[in-house]
Amino acid sequence: MDHTSNARDTTLASAGGCPVDHSAPAASTTVPSSSLPLVESSRLRQVLGIWARPEPFLKQCRAAYGSRFRVKIIPGIRIHVISAPEDVKRMFLAPRDVLHTGSSNGPIEKWTGQNGLAWLDEDAHTARRRAVMPSFRGDALKRVERAVYQLAKETVASWPRDRAVSVHPYAHRYTTQVIMEVLFGEHRPSCEDEMFREVMKMLEFNSRPASMTMFHRMPAWRVTMLRLLRPNGVNEFLTRRDRVHRMVDAAIDERVRSGAEGDDLLGVMLGITHADGSRPSRVEMRDEIMTQFLAGTETTAAAICWSMEFLTRHPEVVERLRAEIEAGESDEYLTAVVHEVLRLGPPIQQIVPREVVRQVDIGGVRYEPGDRLWASAYLLNRDEHNYPDPDAFKPERFLGVKPGSHTWIPFGGGHTRCLGDRIAFVELKATLTEILTTLDVERAEAAPEPAHSRTVVNIPKKGARMIFRPRAVRSSAGAR
């Protein structure tokens, strides 16, 4: 952390902010996490702030309390928001038996179940991650990349022209098609089309406030009551989820009967044999697939929407991008644009919390078992001490510069960093290339769209409303 940041946090401490004096060369003593400043507003106001107005809520907290503060959004759980690079680094580097992520995934359990990689920690997480890695790297990545560019062409060509539309539903459909390639490769289940339709309808629940409710941990009678209140969408979600589960189970059975191998996720999981000779259960395979339907689609769809939101406000960036694409000699500026989009609009503004399972000192604060560390990608990426003029869209800041692993965290970090980060990057590049070489994009409304929660991600509040018009002249340089 630089000296400017140190001075800032010291000033905040004297004003009731973070109690740690960061101006000292090293912390000789530690303070308990309970001494960190607590956001004073009610739990309901904090939940609504994170759901409906996440950006102003986080900025106001940072201004009032500094780089560390506590929020009270879940009863009985001590959640500490952190956003100083050194704190984030120490969190990512902490031993696997000190911080766990699996226990923090309760809000998404209704989609993913409890048997996928997202729920595992320590040796179990390492083993599963190593086992499924081949479906996200190497030859599998090359196969998916080819499919991504072809899908981008087909998808963008099908988008409506000459009328205002929200980009999100179309982007989400595209990213779900990509995930079908990751999951099944060339061995598509016979129910693929029906599965795709049900998954898309099931995920519409993410736009409802009820999606934040952990009804999957409620007594059965309460869930029954919620299902009777049809406007909240719970009954429809659970009904469609049951259908998707049955179709995924049928796809697994079909693949087993075929004996077909492959580097797709299902093929890789079917090929796993543990040290004791056992194999992943059907529930484990289903939960990994359901996790990808959620995490592998929502995040990239959100990033596509944010790219439209930023690019349509910066025509000079669009022209420079088009010139690079048409020259066909490099994608350096396109890469910088994607980095900047993910800095300003990280789809997951608050990465998955880490639960402290063994006492740990981070930056002069002693965190106790049961504490949760919630790193804020939004605050980290918008800190003027990390990025000068942090709210400005300036892709040039990443030209010839690799993003820092502790100051740019749209994919998380450490041993739980997103497995699909490379695929997401290819999706963004392919989509932007196809859009900019075939279309002119206009904003439906001049005012910027603020961030709004869609359960696991944040998207532009209206889904990035744009008007797509055919370009008069199309360059062939973007073709792949």
DSSP per residue over 11-63, as a string? HHHHTTS--S-TTSSS-SS-EEGGGS-B--S-HHHHHHHHHH-HHHHHHHHHH
**Element containing residue 244 per DSSP (H, E):** helix 234-258
Beta strands 457-460 and 164-166, pairing class: unpaired
Residue 18 is assigned to a ligand binding site: no
Amino acid making up residue 190: S
Structure-block tokens of residue 134: 């081949």
Beta strands 79-82 and 372-375, pairing class: parallel
Structure-block tokens of residue 24: 């000292």
Measured distance CA(326)–CA(315) in Å, rounded = 16
Distances (CA, A) of 63 to 124, 354, 372: 40, 24, 21
Measured distance CA(293)–CA(270) in Å, rounded = 18
List residues bridging with 362 in a β-sheet.
Answer: 365
Measured distance CA(241)–CA(228) in Å, rounded = 17
Largest CA distance in the chain: 68
Q: How many CB atoms lie within 10 A of CB 157?
A: 10
List residues bridging with 366 in a β-sheet.
Answer: 32, 361
131 class by beta-carbon count within 10 Å (0-12 exposed, 13-18 middle, 19+ buried): middle
User: In sequence order, what E strands does 343-401 have?
Assistant: 354-356, 360-362, 365-367, 372-375
Structure-block tokens of residue 116: 């996928």
Measured distance CA(332)–CA(335) in Å, rounded = 5
Measured distance CA(63)–CA(68) in Å, rounded = 11
Amino acid making up residue 472: A
471 class by beta-carbon count within 10 Å (0-12 exposed, 13-18 middle, 19+ buried): middle
Q: Which residues are annotated as a binding site for heme?
A: 418
Q: Which residues are annotated as a binding site?
A: 418
